[in-house]
Amino acid sequence: MIRERLSALAVMPDDVIDPLLWRLALDVAAAHQPNEHGDCRNLQCVGQRGMCTAARTARRAMTKARRPRPVAAPLARSADHHHAVGSSQTLARFRGWFTSTDPEAARGGRGWLLPVTVPAA
């Protein structure tokens, strides 16, 4: 009896960008299913407690084979069709990122620079 791979029967999600990686990862994940104690039932993973390395790697590969999900909503466009910078709350979070936190440097002092002359040894 010929054993069919699960990836040949599975419906691939629409957001898969690497079909070969996704199908291979699906087959590995199917071969490394947990038993009633939560350990891998595959004979190659005897003695490993919990989810085996192959199953963890297969899950990671299935995630990497798919298009990344957007983290934030797209920026709104203003009337002149330029991207909006963001809300005032967003801008307040980033205020001061590119300025020095040293009070001497903030006053225009040069206390944070290296000395101009190096003492002779």
Report domain extents, the chain: 7-64
Say if residue 52 is exposed, middle or buried (CB neighbours under 10 Å; 0-12, 13-18, 19+).
buried
Residue 42 CA from chain centroid, whole number: 29
Task: For 2-41, write each residue's pLDDT tens digit.
Answer: 567 888 888 888 899 999 999 999 999 999 988 888 889 8
- Retrieve residue 12's tokens: 């691939």
pTM of the model: 0.53
